[in-house]
């Protein structure tokens, strides 16, 4: 009983438990090309001349339609697909008045990225104590355009965009405004809040989709877990030389005793590629890109930092606060 309680703590369920669940309960027709798997955020279906790509993702740390649009969009983009439509399930506690704000953010996000909003389900229920938003998005891609976390190749360079802990920095800034302003000042708080504008990987993904081999969005569990998931999905290892961490992220993580490598990081796109010009082409669009390591096909499925294997985080670091 104690073991079960420990393993079912808040956050994603452990990888080994997830692997058993997928193995035991997955079912797919012949037209499902890619189904449930560790490190793979979308399913892929063969619909004839194209692939249909589908994902579903909730936002659990904030009540934001904007965040929900972006975490689902990033999954679709990381597969090399273009988004088609979005649907959402929204459950609010009695007396909550955030529905208009949530719907306005969904509307603005869909309009910005030319995604049709297909409705969904809205409900008031005492089962939640704050709004719960879960999204579902579908995209489409050509059969020669499919990417994903399962496609990293031996000898690829590992690139990441923007840095480490992007979404976590934005969430902490929103949730801890008064403490951050008191400790670091208004200018620092404004910079940290601005990380919310970096949550989408649309710009870099649309450039990388032609010449990347693998792509993966770093969400819950942070950059380290996203790298690990790519290693598992692609049956490779990665030798990492550096983890770029911004001044704001570093200061906040030090203040709240968090490890930035395990901090939720939607907005960080991990790319593996042999295209030596890709980094420069993305940077020309004003997006920071860092070359952090190399992919090797050694069968170990490890993330190694300067030669030492690293363990993935059991829970996202943001849960600590």
Query: What pLDDT score does 28 carry?
Result: 86
The total number of structural domains in the chain stands at 2
Stretch 219-228: mean pLDDT, rounded? 95
Within this chain, do residues 181 and 311 fall inside the same structural domain, yes or no?
Answer: yes
Query: What pLDDT score does 33 carry?
Result: 92
Within this chain, do residues 78 and 203 fall inside the same structural domain, yes or no?
Answer: no
162: left (phi over 0), alpha (psi -120 to 50) or beta: left
Stretch 133-146: mean pLDDT, rounded? 96
Are 78 and 70 in contact by the 8 Å Cβ rule? The answer is: no
Q: Among 16-25, 71-80, 242-251, 298-307, whose mean pLDDT is lowest? A: 16-25
Q: Which residues span the domain enclosing 24? A: 2-142
Within this chain, do residues 111 and 238 fall inside the same structural domain, yes or no?
Answer: no
Task: Provide the whole-model pTM.
Answer: 0.92
Burial of 129 (0-12, 13-18, 19+ CB in 10 A): exposed
In whole numbers, what is the pLDDT of the chain averaged over residues? 93
Stretch 248-262: mean pLDDT, rounded? 97
Query: What pLDDT score does 12 carry?
Result: 79
Q: At what angle do helices 247-255 and 166-175 cross, to 10 degrees?
A: 60
Tokens of 299: 């069968």
Within this chain, do residues 293 and 232 fall inside the same structural domain, yes or no?
Answer: yes
Task: Give the integer Cα–Cα distance in Å for 65 and 63.
Answer: 7
Are 150 and 233 in contact by the 8 Å Cβ rule? The answer is: yes
Within this chain, do residues 136 and 68 fall inside the same structural domain, yes or no?
Answer: yes
Query: What pLDDT score does 151 carry?
Result: 95
Model pLDDT for residues 142-160, shown as the tens digit of each residue: 999 999 999 999 999 999 9
- The pLDDT of residue 184 is above 70: yes
Task: Identify any residues that bridge with 273 across adjacent strands, giving them in sequence order.
Answer: 157, 212
- The pLDDT of residue 9 is above 80: no
């Amino acid at each position: 009983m104690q073991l079960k309680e420990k393993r079912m703590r808040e956050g994603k369920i452990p990888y080994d438990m997830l692997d058993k669940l997928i193995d035991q309960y997955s079912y797919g027709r012949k037209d499902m090309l890619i189904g449930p798997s560790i490190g793979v955020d979308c399913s892929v279906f063969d619909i004839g001349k194209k692939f249909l790509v589908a994902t579903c993702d909730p936002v659990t740390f904030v009540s934001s339609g904007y965040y929900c649009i972006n975490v689902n969009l990033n999954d679709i983009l990381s597969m090399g697909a273009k988004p088609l439509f979005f649907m959402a399930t929204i459950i609010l506690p009695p007396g909550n008045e955030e529905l208009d704000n949530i719907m306005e953010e969904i509307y603005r996000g869909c309009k910005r990225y030319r995604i049709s909003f297909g409705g969904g389900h809205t409900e008031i229920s005492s089962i939640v104590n704050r709004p719960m938003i879960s999204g579902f998005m579908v995209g489409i891609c050509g059969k020669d355009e499919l990417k994903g976390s399962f496609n990293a190749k031996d000898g690829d360079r590992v690139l990441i965009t923007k840095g480490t802990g992007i979404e976590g920095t934005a969430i902490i800034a929103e949730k801890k405004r008064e403490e951050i302003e008191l400790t670091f000042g208004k200018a620092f708080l404004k910079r940290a809040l601005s990380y919310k504008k970096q949550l989408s990987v649309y710009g870099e993904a649309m450039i990388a989709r032609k010449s990347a081999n693998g792509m993966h969005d770093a969400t819950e569990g942070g950059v380290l877990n996203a790298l690990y998931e790519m290693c598992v999905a692609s049956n490779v290892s990665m030798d990492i030389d550096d983890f770029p961490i911004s001044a704001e992220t570093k200061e906040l993580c030090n203040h709240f005793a968090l490890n930035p490598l395990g901090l939720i990081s939607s907005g960080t796109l991990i790319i593996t590629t042999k295209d030596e010009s890709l980094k420069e082409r993305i940077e020309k669009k004003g997006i920071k890109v860092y070359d952090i390591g190399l992919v090797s096909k050694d069968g170990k499925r490890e993330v190694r930092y300067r030669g030492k294997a690293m363990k993935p985080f059991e829970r996202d670091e943001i849960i600590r606060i």
